[in-house]
Amino acid sequence: MHLSDIAHPNQLHGLSIRQLQQIARQIREKHLETVAATGGHLGPGLGVVELTLGLYQTLDLDRDKVIWDVGHQAYPHKLITGRYHNFHTLRQKDGVAGYLKRCENKFDHFGAGHASTSISAALGMALARDAKGEKFKTVAVIGDGALTGGMALEAINHAGHLPKTNLLVVLNDNEMSISPNVGAIPRYLNKMRLSPPVQFISDNFEEQFKHIPFVGDELERIKEGMKRLAVSKVGAVFEELGFTYMGPVDGHNLEELIATFQQAHQIIGPVLVHVATVKGKGYEMAEKDQVGYHAQTPFNLATGKAIPSNKPKPPSYAKVFSHTLVKLAEQNPKIIGITAAMATGTGLDKLQSKLPNQYIDVGIAEQHAVTLSAGLACEGMRPVVAIYSTFLQRGYDQIVHDVCIQNLPVFFCLDRAGIVGADGPTHQGMYDIAYLRCIPNMVLMAPKDEAELQQMVVTGIEYTDGPIAMRFPRGNGHGVPLMEEGWETLEIGKGEILRQGDDVLIIGYGTMVYPGMQAAEILSEHGIEASVINARFVKPLDTELILPLAQQIGKVVTLEEGCLMGGFGSAVAEALLDANVVVPVKRLGVPDVLVDHATPDQSYATLGLTSEQIADNILQAFFKKELATVK
């Protein structure tokens, strides 16, 4: 049987170990070939190929449910659940999603974009099953990195209290998440894995005993027995929490995996199977560099190097943010950069490298990151919390209660704000303007380009009257000149006027300022002259600048790369109403829809946010009579 013939995971039943190994090789080949062409997550899926095949051999997937924690480790799952023939469309518009989606495939039982959710979801399904008197197996597959998230521990605590609820948790232990794991739990797992008895067995046991005749035939069995004894303390922790513990199991040994899973299914109550895997397994470069090959842009399979762009690009916003923060931190030891397991993505790996004592990685624990920063601020430190817009949603209660109510000077830096492209709805930074704008004491700002970002980093660190947040996009800047030092702070709540005209007022926020300027030039070709404001701040809003111009010009357009409901345009409209300035307002941004995976340019076009579409929208909204005259 070839991988391309598999449309249903139950087709794996009855295959020999040799046949399954052939399928495993084909999965890796297809996975590598696809990600090399399209870009995407590489290491996580390569590491769980045998785990997936071994687990699915023991399940009836017409009834049983597997819940994957973070969908990018489920690419092998996608390849054996009917998506082989369109897998080449991975993360492309209208193609296979990079994460699990219930609407994409009946075997995607729970959407998986953010970490640490699988055990909670699987336990909920198990409890529903029991309440309805149904019979099926429920399995959660979670990485050791995701165990640093409090939600996973909450779910384990709950499940361990239900001795008659059948639930299988598969711990995929590869010592990694996106960045190297931090915290007591990964350290404990690693300590057991690298304990002197295990190292002795690995390094010396075979050499010392292989020549003793009566030992030779039993060598592997004795080695495994001693290893299990050495790491038994890992199991003791989970046993104390109410789980039956099994493992550690070689995550690339199909026979051992199948036998262990079959045994686990016979046990009543919650069971945890500890599986040791290698992230990036089967691709040497990914095995050696597990951080770099977690996810890749399109790359050359033979060399492992990224395919170069046709033309040089300006530095990314994340790189400019990182460089500026390091420069400031070198001069101010009170600055502490905080990340939630995303050192490389946020650029804080540079701070970690240069100033390790001013860097904290809390693991996949955004709630803890926020309250930790509040504690640091209480003691006079300058915490800079760098978390993706979509991930900061997970720490919302802490933003409200622990930071804003106490009016603590925490600086939130929200990377990946707005359209993020191929990662899809789980990662689009659509809501931060709306969810932060409504909280008292919070200041919100967004740069129009990378030079203004530098000024906002300084502004955020210097601002000590309360919390302040800056959103900035994924991707590269505009190529404007940058400064190495001497940055000036911006006046809080003050925008700037970039272009003057009497026919329409365009107010852009953050990334939409440049498209607004381009739209103004297009309008000028139609004889319509626009004023353009770079708002800089949505809270406080520069009403001293906006209100007189709005009243004078009489037509207002707002531009934002975020949800329209409660967003920047809403803030402008509210300010106009509160001041009794009654003028028509056209809000352009992201409507009440989920933005699916596609390239950013495709998403902008779908949402009507290209400069040409903005100009056309303005013409249709305010200047139909002029258009008719021209025609």
Residues involved in catalysis:
279, 366, 394
For 186, the enclosing helix (H) or strand (E) is helix 184-193
Name the 3-class secondary structure at 12: helix
Q: Is 625 exposed, middle or buried (0-12, 13-18, 19+ CB in 10 A)?
A: exposed
Structure token digits, residue 461: 């660190």
Q: Is residue 396 within 8 Å of residue 402, measured between CB atoms? A: no
DSSP characters over 320-361: HHHHHHHHHHHH-TTEEEEESS-HHHHTHHHHHHH-GGGEEE
Please report how the helices 254-264 and 49-57 are oriented relative to each other, as an axis angle in degrees rounded to 10: 50
* Beta carbons within 8 Å of 14's beta carbon, 6+ residues apart: none
User: What is the token pair recorded at 564?
Assistant: 């329209």
Which tokens hold the place of 449? 């380009």
**Closest to 44 in 3D by CA, of 23, 69, 72, 68:** 72
Close Cβ partners of 325 (under 8 Å, ≥ 6 residues apart):
335, 337, 347, 348, 351, 384, 457
Let me know: does 262 contact 148? Beta carbons within 8 Å. no
Angle at 326 between CA 320 and CA 327, to 5 degrees: 90
- Residue 88: burial class (beta carbons within 10 Å; 0-12, 13-18, 19+): middle
Beta carbons of 243 and 156 less than 8 angstroms apart: yes
Find out whether the peptide bond into 481 is cis, omega within 30 degrees of 0. no
The answer to whether 466 and 407 are in contact (CB under 8 A) is: yes
Asked if 370 and 439 count as a contact pair (C-beta separation under 8 A), the reply is no
DSSP 305: P
197 SS3 class: helix
Token couple for 313: 């690009």
All residues at 6 or more sequence positions from 328 whose CB lies less than 8 Å from its CB, including other chains = 335, 457, 458, 461
